[in-house]
Amino acid sequence: MVKIIKTPDEQPNDAIERDLVTALYDDSFGGVLVSIACASALFLIFGDDPVLGEFKLYWFIAFMLLLTIRLLDTSYWHKNLRGTSYAFLQAKRRFISMAALSSFAWTTYAITIVDHASWLELSMTIIILASLAGGSATVLSGNRTLGVCYSFLLIFPMSFLMAIGEDPNKNVLGYLGLFFSLIMILGSWRTAAFTRNAIVTKNQNTDFVKALADKNEEILAVNADLENKVRLRTKEIFELSNIDPLTGLFNRTAFSKSLGDIISLCQSQARGFALLFIDLDGFKAINDTQGHNVGDKVLVAIAQRITLFANGAGHVCRWGGDEFIVVIEDLDEGEAVEFGRDLIASLSQHIKVDSNKLSVGATIGVAMYPRHGSDETELISLADTAMYIQKEKNKADVSVFTHEMRQSQIREQQIKEGLALALQKNEFHLVYQPVIDNESKEVSFCEVLLRWRYRGEMVPPHEFIPIAEQYGFIHDIGEWVLMEACRESSSWIFDDHVNISVNVSVSQLVRADFIAIVQNALVSSGFSASNLHLEITESMFESNVDMMLERIRALQGLGIKVSVDDFGTGFSSLSQLQKLSADIVKIDRSFISSMATGGQAIIQATQYIAKELGYSVVAEGVETKAQADELADIGIQCSQGYYFSYPMPIAELTDWYQKFKKS
Ligand code: C2E
Ligand code: MG
Ligand code: MG
């Protein structure tokens, strides 16, 4: 068997090896049939040989047997292995072994007859073998070693023997054969190399096409992944810009757009809807006392309740902080109010956060489409107004927008605009209302009250002060009041013991610079701190009480007296009053006017507590002699009211005082 020698460049991948074996088998039928034809021709012409006849017969039979096996092997290959990923090594070994045996058969034949054959037989044999060698260069090009060896074995041994023989004619034929053998070896070598290159190139192309297909698949996969990522990112961006991250509800932007769509739809179908603007009550306190983490959990729970309550029928949005909006289609006004009240009841139930049970309330304003407006911004603003007005009036209830509300909103807007310029335009002035000591019948102090003339109209403080507080104007206005009161009363007709009492809003008091502002007013006017009272409404107890205490102590440290104004209207507890250690308690005028119907008991109780805690008590809103006498009888230290005097400009105080002293 021919040993197959492989050089490193002949060890490529299996596909190339298999293709080379395929090249061998593909041409095998033709090669074997040519061999059969040649061997048969030689046997028929020269088989009848007296010397070598027997050898030729056996050789012919053996060779035919070998060639038949090769034919069977070739047809087996064609039938079963061609085009499959067959075990090429076995097929290759079979083919090479049998082809090698064929070449040995020819060599044996040639070298056996060389000495005995006639000139004609030799010539014919060498021509046939040379042709076979020539054909083998192509037919066996699938294996270079086999191709080269085959050509070599077919011609070389016979030619060599002829070349070294004694017959000069045979010598010439031998040389020719040797030369031919050399050419055939080179031809086989080159044809095999060419075939191999072609197969390698074909396989590289296949690899390249496969690599291309793989790359293509890879690109498709990357593309699909990219598309997925883009889809996810788009969803994320949509959620970021449309969904409130805390509650998962629509945010302002998304809701305004969606409301626009709802309006268009309802318009085309001639339907209506109710827009409910929900504002939580008491949420700020939870945030302040329990922290933002707990506040967030409360908001999430509220959002879930609203969504559940709307039961998929409504469009829900977190409008901001603790404000939510629900839109419910096909509700009339009465149904909307009922829905709102039920919703408030649901929202007001306990919310369990960790181990705490918390509760918030809600106030709701309603605007109806199309009755109140047909534009999303307008409807939201109207419902917000209704909510805001309801909240001022009475929390935890529902209010439907009315046109009076619009008027009051317009009025508020005008006041707000007016307040912004009022100081600059010198529109404020102060009036003074004396407070009388019930025992000595002397003026104890005068309360300073602010007056505003705006566009020729006197706007009452109860109307403009809350707006000034809400929009922050109160700080500059309050500072002006303090300065002006100290300045005006520095040179007034009263003795030193008559003090002035200036009203201060809670929002002024909580500002860090408040004490400095008071000091500045005192220093710049030369007014004595011991002649100054500051009145702070009872609502201060709704703020941070510890901070209030600290401020009040600081003021008292300067020598200023502090009054709790409108006492009885708020929710201050007696313990808070005790903690506060103010100097004066002013009983709200509602108790004085209702003295005959139960107010007296409250006045007496307040007087009793104040006495125990060491406060002075002032009764506000004393309008009649009877009230004044009764209050004096109860033991109330001071009284203030229209019975003694209306608030008046400082210039009128002198006249009033002259008359008062005479009376
Ligand atoms: P207040 O501090 O309780 O002032 C007493 C209010 O009762 C004054 O109303 C006064 O005119 C009124 N009044 C006095 N005696 C009687 C009476 O016998 N009967 C009736 N019905 N009313 C009487 P005014 O001046 O309209 O002030 C209302 C509120 O506005 C004040 O209530 C005070 O809370 C606030 N305010 C007034 N001026 C200022 C100020 O300069 N700064 C701040 N922050 N608030 C002020
Ligand atoms: Mg007051
Ligand atoms: Mg008062």
What is the pLDDT at residue 399? 97
- Ligand closest to 449 (CA) is 1
Counting from 1 in the atom list of ligand 1, the atom nearest the Cα of 640 is 15
Cα atoms in the 13 Å half-sphere on the side-chain side of 511: 17
Same domain? For 438 and 552 the reply is yes
Give, as one character, the DSSP assignment of residue 496: T
Cα atoms in the 13 Å half-sphere on the side-chain side of 91: 28
Gyration radius from the chain CA atoms: 58
Mean pLDDT of 198-210: 79
Same domain? For 224 and 313 the reply is no
Cα atoms in the 13 Å half-sphere on the side-chain side of 278: 33
Contacts of 225 (CB under 8 A, 6+ apart): none
Q: Are the C-beta atoms of 85 and 22 separated by less than 8 Å?
A: no
Question: In 99-212, at which residue ranges do the beta strands (DSSP E only) sit?
Answer: none
What is the pLDDT at residue 573? 63
The DSSP element (H or E) to which 389 belongs, if any, is: helix 376-393
- Ligand closest to 627 (CA) is 1
What is the pLDDT at residue 12? 55
621 Cβ closer than 6 Å to some ligand 1 atom: yes
Cα atoms in the 13 Å half-sphere on the side-chain side of 1: 9
> Can you tell me the distance from the alpha carbon of 602 to that of 513, in angstroms, rounded to the nearest whole number?
37
> 496-554 pLDDT, tens per residue?
678 999 999 999 999 999 999 999 999 999 999 999 999 998 777 777 778 888 999 99
What is the pLDDT at residue 3? 39
Question: In 231-350, at which residue ranges do the beta strands (DSSP E only) sit?
Answer: 273-281, 314-320, 323-329
In a domain, 408, yes or no: no
- In order, the DSSP letters of 428-481 are EEEEEEEEEETTT-SEEEEEEEEEEEETTEEE-HHHHHHHHHHTTTHHHHHHHH
In a domain, 3, yes or no: no
Question: Residue type for 537, please?
Answer: T
Cα atoms in the 13 Å half-sphere on the side-chain side of 518: 28
In the predicted model, is pLDDT for residue 210 greater than 70? Answer: yes
Same domain? For 157 and 71 the reply is yes
436 Cβ closer than 6 Å to some ligand 1 atom: no
> Can you tell me the distance from the alpha carbon of 390 to that of 278, in angstroms, rounded to the nearest whole number?
11
- In order, the DSSP letters of 169-202 are HHHHHHHHHHHHHHHHHHHHHHHHHHHHHHHHHH
What is the pLDDT at residue 4? 38
Number of domains in the chain: 3
Which of 370, 401, 432 terminates a domain? The answer is: 401
What is the pLDDT at residue 571? 62
Where residue 442 falls among pLDDT bands split at 50, 70, 90? very high
Q: Are the C-beta atoms of 641 and 449 separated by less than 8 Å?
A: no
Which of 367, 401, 435 terminates a domain? The answer is: 401
What is the pLDDT at residue 10? 39
Of 122 and 544, the one with more pLDDT: 122
Same domain? For 207 and 314 the reply is no
> Can you tell me the distance from the alpha carbon of 656 to that of 648, in angstroms, rounded to the nearest whole number?
9
Same domain? For 384 and 423 the reply is no
Same domain? For 82 and 159 the reply is yes
623 Cβ closer than 6 Å to some ligand 1 atom: yes
70 Cβ closer than 6 Å to some ligand 1 atom: no
User: How far apart are the CA of 213 and the centre of ligand 3, in A?
Assistant: 89
Same domain? For 324 and 459 the reply is no
Mean pLDDT of 366-386: 95
In a domain, 112, yes or no: yes
In the predicted model, is pLDDT for residue 182 greater than 50? Answer: yes
What is the pLDDT at residue 543? 72
In the predicted model, is pLDDT for residue 11 greater than 50? Answer: no
State the residue range of the domain holding 530. Answer: 415-662
Dig out the tokens for 20 from the structure.
Answer: 């080379």
Cα atoms in the 13 Å half-sphere on the side-chain side of 661: 7
- Ligand closest to 570 (CA) is 3
Q: Is 478 exposed, middle or buried (0-12, 13-18, 19+ CB in 10 A)?
A: buried
Contacts of 205 (CB under 8 A, 6+ apart): none
What is the pLDDT at residue 385? 92
Counting from 1 in the atom list of ligand 1, the atom nearest the Cα of 450 is 38
Dig out the tokens for 475 from the structure.
Answer: 């700080």
User: How far apart are the CA of 359 and the centre of ligand 2, in A?
Assistant: 34
462 Cβ closer than 6 Å to some ligand 1 atom: yes
Where residue 14 falls among pLDDT bands split at 50, 70, 90? confident
Where residue 547 falls (left for φ over 0; alpha for ψ -120 to 50; beta otherwise) is: alpha
Same domain? For 387 and 495 the reply is no
User: How far apart are the CA of 486 and the centre of ligand 2, in A?
Assistant: 16
19 Cβ closer than 6 Å to some ligand 1 atom: no
Same domain? For 232 and 257 the reply is no
Cis amide prior to 370 (ω within 30 degrees): yes
DSSP-based three-state secondary structure for 357: strand
What is the pLDDT at residue 6? 42
648 Cβ closer than 6 Å to some ligand 1 atom: no
Mean pLDDT of 62-87: 92
- Ligand closest to 473 (CA) is 1
Which of 242, 262, 279 terminates a domain? The answer is: 242
User: How far apart are the CA of 281 and the centre of ligand 1, in A?
Assistant: 28
> Can you tell me the distance from the alpha carbon of 424 to that of 439, in angstroms, rounded to the nearest whole number?
43
What is each CA distance from 256 to 297, 393, 400, 512, in whole angstroms? 25, 28, 21, 39
Of 188 and 341, the one with more pLDDT: 341
385 Cβ closer than 6 Å to some ligand 1 atom: no
**CA of residue 301 relative to chain centroid, distance:** 21
What is each CA distance from 368 to 75, 333, 382, 391, 419, in whole angstroms? 93, 7, 9, 19, 32
Where residue 119 falls among pLDDT bands split at 50, 70, 90? confident
Which residues pair with residue 353 across a beta bridge? Answer: 356
In a domain, 406, yes or no: no
Same domain? For 176 and 51 the reply is yes
Percentage of the residues of the chain whose pLDDT score is greater than 70: 96
588 Cβ closer than 6 Å to some ligand 1 atom: no
What is each CA distance from 353 to 188, 248, 322, 523, 616, in whole angstroms? 93, 19, 17, 52, 45
469 Cβ closer than 6 Å to some ligand 1 atom: no
In a domain, 6, yes or no: no
What is the pLDDT at residue 574? 65
Q: Are the C-beta atoms of 141 and 188 separated by less than 8 Å?
A: yes
- Of 20, 56, 261, the closest CA to residue 144 belongs to 20
User: How far apart are the CA of 548 and the centre of ligand 1, in A?
Assistant: 22
**Which CATH number do you get for residue 309?**
3.30.70.270
- pTM (2 decimals)? 0.59
504 Cβ closer than 6 Å to some ligand 1 atom: yes
Q: Whose CA is nearest to atom 35 of ligand 1?
A: 461
Which residues pair with residue 364 across a beta bridge? Answer: 278, 398
User: How far apart are the CA of 466 and the centre of ligand 3, in A?
Assistant: 14
449 Cβ closer than 6 Å to some ligand 1 atom: yes
- Of 602, 584, 582, 606, the closest CA to residue 593 belongs to 602
Same domain? For 200 and 281 the reply is no
| Sign of the torsion angle spanned by Cα atoms 188, 193, 198, 200 | positive
433 Cβ closer than 6 Å to some ligand 1 atom: yes
> 308-335 pLDDT, tens per residue?
998 766 689 999 999 999 999 999 999 9
Dig out the tokens for 160 from the structure.
Answer: 């060599």
- Ligand closest to 501 (CA) is 2
In the predicted model, is pLDDT for residue 389 greater than 80? Answer: yes
> Can you tell me the distance from the alpha carbon of 660 to that of 444, in angstroms, rounded to the nearest whole number?
13
Same domain? For 321 and 464 the reply is no
Residues 284, 363, 419, CA angle at the centre, nearest 5°?
Answer: 75
Of 185 and 492, the one with more pLDDT: 185
